[in-house]
Structures are given as C-alpha cells and as structure tokens.
C-alpha cells in the first residue's frame, strides 16, 4: 500500500510537467496493475483454501454445516477484499471442488451452492466498490449480498430440482435460507464487517476501493 500511495502522489506531481514523463507514468501504471493482480490472485487462493478447510470445523456434518455456513465466510470476504471478479470466481469454484475432493457437500447441494456462493462473491465486491467507503455501508453491502445470494440459491435449486425430477418448495426455501441458517447469518453479520474494517485499517482494501 505504501508503494501505491507514493506512486500516486508522484504521478499527480509529475502530470503537469509535460509529455516527456508519459513513459514513466505508464511504467508505474503497469507495475501497480501487476502488483494488484498478483496480490488479489494470492488472496483469492487463500480464501479458496479457507472455503475448502473451514467446513472441517463442523465435522462435515450436513445439519451443522447448514446452521453455521462455514463455506460462506471466505467467499463473502473474497468479494470485499479482492473485488467482484475474484469473489465470483472463488464462489464458482469452491463448492464443486470441495464436493469432488472431499465428498461434501453432496452434489445435490453443491450445484445450487455454486450459483449461491458466486452471487455472494460478486455482490459483496461490486457493492463495496460502488458504495461510499464508510463502515456502515460494509453492513449494507453484506446484508444485500446475503439476500441476493439466497434468491439466486432458490432459483438455482428450483431449476436443478426440476431437472432431477424433484420439487423445491417455498417451505424448503424459508428453512434453508433463513430458519436453519440463522446461527450462521448472525455469525456473518457480526464477524465479516469487523474483519473487513480491520483489513481496511491495515491497508489491504486498496484494490476494491
């Protein structure tokens, strides 16, 4: 972050000194873009690893997993910290990769979750970028993203259940999205904004601001 800030200050001071410095500015831009992309790629890998490993804390027991939603936390954070393209990608990869690698979640849950988690990573990244950079808007971006992801999950579940010849009911949506998931929802609303604010204070949120 110190490098980015110093380059930006240098760039502003040199802009008025003539076109002979354009090459210098272009080189600075390329270095900044390269460093940001590498940083986001590394952090995305970290969040993906957390998404694969955190469910072990629930013993891979489906009922506990549906209550605490351990896989959701790193995906939501990936959007906030790395931006919506990375959050979207991590959300798309994590459920199916974990299902294939560890057998959980089962494929019938992993398919709708793929769309749900991708929606979380996309929405947190996009909304955090668009909203004013005040702490209250971190909560707003998180809550809107959580609602958006659940709507996407319901749509994906309905379509998938139709394909496999089953039914996805309104009662299943309410139970899966809100009632059973209430402990996990509380954990996310309490924990995620605190982590984002701490990372913001430490200077790790420059990519999405």
pLDDT (0 to 100) of residue 209 = 61
pLDDT (0 to 100) of residue 101 = 96
Q: Tokens 């690698």 map to which residue?
A: 101
Q: Mean pLDDT score of the chain, rounded to an integer?
A: 87
Residue 156's alpha-carbon distances to 22, 117, 202, in angstroms, are 49, 11, 37
Q: Residue 52 in contact with residue 102, Cβ under 8 Å? A: yes
- Confidence at 207, pLDDT banded by 50, 70, 90: low
User: 150-205, pLDDT tens digit by residue?
Assistant: 999 999 999 999 999 999 999 999 999 999 999 999 999 999 999 999 999 988 77
Is the pLDDT at 80 greater than 90? The verdict is yes
pLDDT (0 to 100) of residue 17 = 54
Domains of the chain: 2-202 (1.10.1760.20)
Residues 6+ apart with CB under 8 A from 74: 47, 48, 50, 51, 54, 90, 94
pLDDT (0 to 100) of residue 44 = 97
Is the pLDDT at 111 greater than 50? The verdict is yes
Rounded to two decimals, the pTM is 0.84
Phi/psi class of residue 203: alpha, beta or left (left: φ > 0; alpha: ψ in -120 to 50)?
Answer: left
Is the pLDDT at 140 greater than 50? The verdict is yes
pLDDT (0 to 100) of residue 31 = 59
pLDDT (0 to 100) of residue 36 = 82
pLDDT (0 to 100) of residue 11 = 52
The token pair that represents 186 in the structure block: 């509380």
Q: How many angstroms separate the first and last alpha carbons of the chain?
A: 12
The larger pLDDT score, comparing residue 180 to residue 208, is at: 180
pLDDT (0 to 100) of residue 19 = 59
pLDDT (0 to 100) of residue 150 = 98
CA distance linking residue 8 with residue 92, whole number of Å:
34
CA distance linking residue 18 with residue 24, whole number of Å:
12
The whole-number average pLDDT for the span 146-150 is 98
Q: Residue 115, class by beta-carbon neighbours within 10 Å (0-12 exposed, 13-18 middle, 19+ buried)? A: buried
pLDDT (0 to 100) of residue 188 = 98
In terms of Cα–Cα distance, which of 126, 125, 128, 98 is closest to 114? 98
The whole-number average pLDDT for the span 15-42 is 64
Is the pLDDT at 7 greater than 50? The verdict is no
């Amino acid at each position: 972050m110190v490098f980015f800030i110093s380059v930006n200050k240098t760039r502003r001071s040199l802009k008025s000194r003539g076109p002979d410095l354009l090459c210098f500015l272009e080189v600075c831009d390329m270095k900044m873009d390269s460093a940001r992309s590498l940083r986001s790629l590394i952090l995305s890998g970290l969040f993906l690893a957390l998404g694969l490993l955190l469910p072990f804390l629930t013993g891979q027991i489906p009922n506990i997993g549906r209550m605490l939603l351990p896989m959701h936390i790193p995906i939501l954070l990936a959007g906030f910290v790395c931006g919506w393209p990375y959050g979207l990608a991590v959300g798309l990869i994590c459920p199916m990769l974990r299902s294939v690698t560890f057998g959980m979640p089962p494929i019938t849950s992993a398919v709708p979750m793929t769309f749900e988690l991708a929606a979380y990573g996309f929405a947190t990244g996009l909304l955090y970028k668009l909203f004013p950079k005040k702490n209250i808007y971190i909560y707003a971006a998180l809550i809107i993203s959580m609602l958006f992801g659940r709507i996407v999950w319901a749509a994906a579940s309905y379509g998938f259940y139709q394909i496999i010849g089953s039914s996805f009911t309104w009662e299943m949506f309410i139970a899966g999205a809100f009632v059973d998931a209430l402990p996990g929802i509380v954990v996310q609303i309490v924990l995620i904004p605190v982590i984002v604010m701490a990372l913001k204070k430490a200077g790790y949120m420059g990519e999405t601001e």
